Amino acid sequence: GNSVTQMEGPVTLSEEAFLTINCTYTATGYPSLFWYVQYPGEGLQLLLKATKADDKGSNKGFEATYRKETTSFHLEKGSVQVSDSAVYFCALRPNTGGFKTIFGAGTRLFVKA
């Protein structure tokens, strides 16, 4: 079946540190991959997406590359800010049957000043 596994949190970093949040997936076919962010007390916001292998999604300094060979979509940012503190969800949408988005468990990021 389809599933998403992402690294457990919380992740605590100092401001300007490098961020990596690992995400791997299991899917039949060629899903689209997404990162969503949830700031405290708010809903889900799409951060970035990639729809085919080797695509790189990027937004607000975050980026992730769709790696089919390793079934991964790791989120990276070169220099985090306090305002990046949030929960980050890796997700996929399969391209065979079904209409739902499948989410990982989420990784909470704390950035200290």
Partner 1 sequence: EPEVTQTPSHQVTQMGQEVILRCVPISNHLYFYWYRQILGQKVEFLVSFYNNEISEKSEIFDDQFSVERPDGSNFTLKIRSTKLEDSAMYFCASSGGLAETYEQYFGPGTRLTVT
Binding stretches for partner 1 (CB under 8 A): 30-32, 34, 36, 42-46, 49, 51, 89, 91, 93-95, 98-106
Question: In angstroms, what is the minimal distance from the CB of 37 to partner 1?
Answer: 11
Closest CB to partner 1 among 60 and 100? 100
Q: How far is the CB of 2 from partner 1 (least distance, A)?
A: 11
Q: Which is nearer to partner 1, 17 or 93 (CB)?
A: 93
- With a CB cutoff of 8 Å and minimum separation 6, the contacts of 35 are 23, 46, 47, 48, 49, 57, 62, 64, 73, 75, 88, 89, 90, 91
Tell me whether residue 91 or residue 109 sits nearer to partner 1 (CB atom).
91
- The least distance separating partner 1 from the CB of residue 95, rounded to whole angstroms, comes to 4
- Residues 47 and 77: their CA atoms lie apart, in Å, by 12
Residues 95, 69, 107, 11: what is their CA dihedral angle, to the nearest 10 degrees? -170
